[in-house]
């Protein structure tokens, strides 16, 4: 067993012990098994997994009741798919679904998306030659079957757990992941870059990118498609259309149909002979001249628009050759189309429209999983829909209830939501005020400027965006004028500079557990508080959140934002009551008063400051705990009182360097508070990305628990031994 020292933020060293040697043997009555980690580490298909395997969880958590998967058992990497027949590939797809259903005993978000993409994943790895050919995914929720087929099957039970597999694709995890799938919409841009680099270097590998319905709501996708059409590099784009829509009654709208004719046409469109005939016809019309080429192109587009589904000509206009629709659960059709596309040396960018169903599953698998899970007390709804009526009350529940109360009193309140998926809590507002709720999907830039327009029209918009997604609305640029190449971020130019009262609700602030660094809300305090006109708040509990909703409603002369964390409320039995606006903007409050040390918390970290205060009081140290509430404007009166009445001031926030603590430092330095006896220390998120783990584990890794805060305090008081004992 090895011991690795790790330096804590407060300067305290903690030791962590590895749980496995290189070779571990064990067996149980139902599943005898020998795990040779050294052999698995040496597999070329598992590049990047060495560190992961070196810190596997407990045996009881790792292994599950074995279900028969004879074909999957012999598929150790995608190369083994090449020798399978179509019939065997179909059986393999069923076994992968069975594997996913049985190993994911704990409900996983986005699980159904991977079930829908099983045949597509099998077909991709059967036709293309990863990792030489590059297969990029836009969204991690579709990639669980991909992980199973690329040497990570044994680690699937560790998915989204500490030191386990990421819920997304990861370049450091496997060589089969050429690019990290983040929030979506990046795969075509990255794939096009790889395709151009391939062409410049004179290589011949294929580049395939997979996007989905949610992805197509983001502008970057169309920017990338347009550029791909212009550059005309060989690139395969697969639209995995699972018929999702932002509208709640999608069943009433038109659906793309798949029948024998559409399958035949898709095969014809992708065939080498048809493509060569089409290219030859283009050359002939160019030689004839007299506008024949343009006329033929229009006839071709019109004819293909007649054959294809509604909207298919959009991709043609962007320069991608459209093929589809293809049934995403018919391996014969998928493999035929992909093989034809892969066989062409100079095809340019191609878009293959694949239709899938997220509820797709075999009857045998459904019956087997139903029996197993019902024995564990789970219903089929729990298994496939993952709905849980007994879920803990969350901050989002509290927010929506507060918004409903305010909207009943104030008819001008509207809600604009942007992000990868809508929080279930928001359905309450949508049901009550359907004409005042707008879900724009992954179009954060549009959400911000749309909200600004609503405000200019006399309404009071609450723009709800998760912290990690707000970054795109802040960072991505707008082209303001064809004659003046000026780039401005929507939050800056469209809202803050014009002092337009948009109310930003920043959800999933701080660490987000199993979603890891990809959806971590670490930076919003920093980038929002640097804007001159922005009011920046953070709720420390549910009562503060309700009051901040009421406060934001009454601010009509400038933009305002407030953040809250993902997860359960501080009190599960909180009474539902109407919020009252804070009497004065920029005022904090003292929760506990002491004389030795002052802990100034911002947002959810106020609760951990109170935990630290309880720990320190047992050691005879009296602590003042204050809730800052505002990062901008700061409560100057409160800060001066804390500095003049305490020898130590510690600020605590669940955000990056440059946020609340930096604003406090700026003020107390200019105010001369640091020129005397005062010791000031900031506790912030470390300057690195914290990988997926449980929320408690992430807070411990970040040094933001009550114990860490108390240990930092003891260290500043010179009581280092007690600090070390506290962390043991």
- Closest residue by Cα to residue 332 from 616, 584, 49, 123: 123
3-state secondary structure of 166: coil
How confident is residue 183, by pLDDT bands cut at 50, 70 and 90? Answer: low
Most confident of 94-103, 154-163, 535-544, 565-574: 535-544
CB 26 within 8 A of CB 35: yes
Q: Does domain 589-727 have CATH number 3.40.50.300?
A: no
- Closest residue by Cα to residue 714 from 606, 613, 646, 641: 613
Q: Report pLDDT digits (tens) over 251-261.
A: 444 455 555 44
What pLDDT shows up at residue 442? Answer: 81
> Per-domain residue ranges for the chain?
72-245+314-357, 395-475+488-563, 589-727
What pLDDT shows up at residue 396? Answer: 93
**Between 107 and 209, the higher pLDDT residue:** 209
Q: Report pLDDT digits (tens) over 639-675.
A: 999 999 999 999 999 999 999 999 999 999 999 999 9
Residue 463, strand partner residues = 416, 504
- Closest residue by Cα to residue 324 from 307, 340, 339: 307
Checking if the pLDDT of 289 tops 80, the result is no
What pLDDT shows up at residue 492? Answer: 79
Q: Is 395-475+488-563 the same fold as 72-245+314-357?
A: yes
**Residues 395-475+488-563, CATH architecture:** 3-Layer(aba) Sandwich (3.40)
Checking if the pLDDT of 263 tops 80, the result is no
Residue 460, strand partner residues = 413
How much of the chain is helix, strand and coil, in % rounded to 5? 45, 15, 40
Distances (CA, A) of 551 to 62, 234, 325: 48, 54, 50
Comparing 103-112, 217-226, 697-706, the range with the smallest average pLDDT is: 103-112
CB 588 within 8 A of CB 638: yes
What pLDDT shows up at residue 213? Answer: 81
**What are the DSSP calls for 38-77, one per residue?**
HHHHT-GGGTT-HHHHTT---HHHH-------TTGGG-SS
Q: Residue 309 corresponds to which tokens in the numbers above?
A: 């589904």
- Closest residue by Cα to residue 178 from 224, 218, 230, 143: 143
What pLDDT shows up at residue 46? Answer: 45
Q: Which CATH superfamily is domain 72-245+314-357 in?
A: Thiamin diphosphate (ThDP)-binding fold, Pyr/PP domains (3.40.50.970)
Checking if the pLDDT of 634 tops 90, the result is yes
Comparing 111-115, 211-215, 385-389, 616-620, the range with the smallest average pLDDT is: 385-389
Checking if the pLDDT of 478 tops 50, the result is no
How confident is residue 1, by pLDDT bands cut at 50, 70 and 90? Answer: very low
Task: Give the helix ranges, DSSP H, for 183-271.
Answer: 187-201, 219-231, 260-270
Checking if the pLDDT of 387 tops 80, the result is no
Rounded to an integer, the average pLDDT of 308-327 is 78
**What are the DSSP calls for 432-485, one per residue?**
H-GGGEEE--S-HHHHHHHHHHHHHTT-EEEEEEEHHHHHHHHHS-EEEETTEE
Rounded to an integer, the average pLDDT of 391-396 is 82
What pLDDT shows up at residue 186? Answer: 84
Q: Residue 148 corresponds to which tokens in the numbers above?
A: 């199973």
Q: Report pLDDT digits (tens) over 119-167.
A: 999 999 999 999 999 999 988 888 999 999 999 999 988 888 888 888 8
Helix (H) or strand (E) holding 137: strand 134-137
Comparing 65-69, 628-632, 689-693, the range with the smallest average pLDDT is: 65-69
Checking if the pLDDT of 44 tops 70, the result is no
**Between 156 and 270, the higher pLDDT residue:** 156
Maximal CA-CA distance, the chain: 95
CA distance 522 to 659: 10
What pLDDT shows up at residue 489? Answer: 64
Beta strands 235-241 and 321-327, pairing class: unpaired
How confident is residue 81, by pLDDT bands cut at 50, 70 and 90? Answer: very high
Comparing 285-289, 515-519, 601-605, the range with the smallest average pLDDT is: 285-289
CA distance 94 to 71: 10
Checking if the pLDDT of 108 tops 80, the result is no
Q: Report pLDDT digits (tens) over 566-592.
A: 987 766 666 667 788 898 999 999 999
């Amino acid at each position: 067993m090895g011991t690795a020292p790790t330096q804590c933020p407060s300067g305290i060293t903690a030791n962590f012990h590895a749980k496995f040697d290189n070779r571990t043997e064990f067996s149980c009555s139902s599943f005898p098994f020998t795990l040779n980690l050294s052999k698995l580490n040496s597999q070329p298909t598992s590049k990047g997994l060495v560190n992961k395997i070196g810190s596997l969880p407990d045996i009881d958590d790792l292994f599950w009741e074995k279900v028969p998967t004879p074909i999957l058992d012999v598929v150790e990497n995608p190369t083994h798919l090449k020798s399978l027949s179509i019939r065997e590939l179909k059986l393999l797809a069923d076994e992968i679904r069975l594997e996913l259903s049985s190993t994911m005993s704990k409900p996983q978000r986005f699980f159904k998306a991977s079930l829908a993409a099983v045949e597509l994943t099998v077909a991709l790895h059967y036709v293309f030659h990863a990792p030489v050919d590059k297969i990029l995914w836009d969204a991690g929720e579709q990639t669980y079957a991909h992980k199973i087929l690329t040497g990570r099957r044994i680690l699937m039970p560790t998915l989204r757990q500490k030191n386990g597999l990421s819920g997304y694709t990861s370049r450091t995890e496997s060589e089969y992941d050429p690019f990290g799938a983040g929030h979506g919409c990046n795969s075509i841009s990255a794939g096009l870059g790889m395709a151009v680099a391939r062409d410049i270097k004179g290589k011949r590998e294929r580049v395939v990118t997979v996007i989905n319905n949610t992805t197509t709501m983001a502008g970057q996708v169309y920017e990338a498609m347009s550029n791909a059409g212009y550059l005309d590099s060989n690139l395969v784009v697969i639209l995995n259309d699972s018929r999702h829509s932002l509208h709640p009654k999608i069943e009433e709208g038109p659906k793309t149909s798949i029948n024998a004719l559409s399958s035949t046409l898709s095969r014809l469109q992708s065939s080498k002979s048809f493509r060569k005939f089409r290219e030859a016809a283009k050359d002939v019309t160019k030689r004839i001249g007299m506008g024949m080429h343009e006329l033929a192109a229009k006839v071709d587009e019109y004819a293909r628009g007649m054959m294809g589904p509604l909207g298919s000509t959009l991709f043609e206009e962007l320069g991608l050759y459209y093929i589809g629709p293809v049934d995403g659960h018919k391996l014969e059709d998928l493999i035929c189309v992909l093989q034809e596309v892969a066989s062409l040396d100079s095809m340019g960018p191609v878009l293959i429209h694949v239709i899938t169903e997220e509820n797709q599953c075999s009857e045998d698998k459904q019956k087997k999983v139903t029996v197993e899970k019902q024995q564990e007390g789970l219903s089929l709804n729990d298994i496939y829909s993952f709905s849980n009526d007994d879920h803990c009350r969350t901050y989002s529940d509290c927010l929506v209830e507060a918004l409903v109360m305010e909207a009943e009193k104030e008819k001008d309140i509207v809600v604009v939501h942007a992000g990868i998926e809508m929080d279930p809590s928001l359905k309450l507002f949508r049901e009550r005020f359907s004409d005042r709720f707008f879900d724009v999907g992954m179009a954060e830039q549009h959400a911000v400027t749309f909200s600004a327009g609503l405000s200019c029209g006399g309404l009071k918009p609450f723009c709800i965006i998760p912290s990690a997604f707000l970054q795109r609305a802040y960072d991505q640029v707008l082209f303001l004028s064809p004659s003046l190449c000026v780039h401005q971020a929507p939050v800056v130019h469209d809202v803050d500079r014009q002092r337009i009262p948009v109310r930003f609700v920043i959800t999933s602030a701080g660490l987000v557990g199993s979603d890891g660094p990809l959806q971590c809300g670490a930076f919003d305090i920093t980038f929002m508080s640097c804007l001159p006109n922005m009011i920046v708040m953070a709720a420390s509990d549910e009562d503060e959140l309700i009051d901040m909703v009421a406060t934001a409603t009454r601010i009509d002369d400038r933009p305002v934002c407030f953040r809250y964390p993902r997860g359960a409320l501080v009190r599960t039995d909180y009474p539902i009551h109407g919020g009252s606006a804070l009497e004065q903007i920029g005022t904090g409050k003292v929760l506990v008063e002491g004389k030795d040390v002052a802990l100034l918390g911002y947002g959810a970290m106020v609760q951990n400051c109170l935990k630290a205060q309880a720990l320190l009081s047992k050691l005879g140290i009296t602590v003042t705990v204050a809730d800052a509430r505002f990062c901008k404007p700061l409560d100057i009166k409160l800060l001066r009182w804390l500095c003049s009445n305490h020898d130590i001031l510690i600020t605590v926030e669940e955000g990056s360097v440059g946020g609340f603590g930096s604003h406090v430092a700026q003020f107390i330095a200019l105010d001369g508070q640091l020129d005397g006896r005062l010791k000031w220390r900031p506790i912030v998120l470390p300057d690195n990305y914290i990988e997926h783990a449980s929320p408690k584990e992430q807070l411990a890794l970040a040094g933001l628990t009550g114990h860490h805060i108390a240990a930092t305090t003891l260290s500043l008081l010179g009581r280092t031994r007690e600090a070390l004992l506290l962390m043991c």
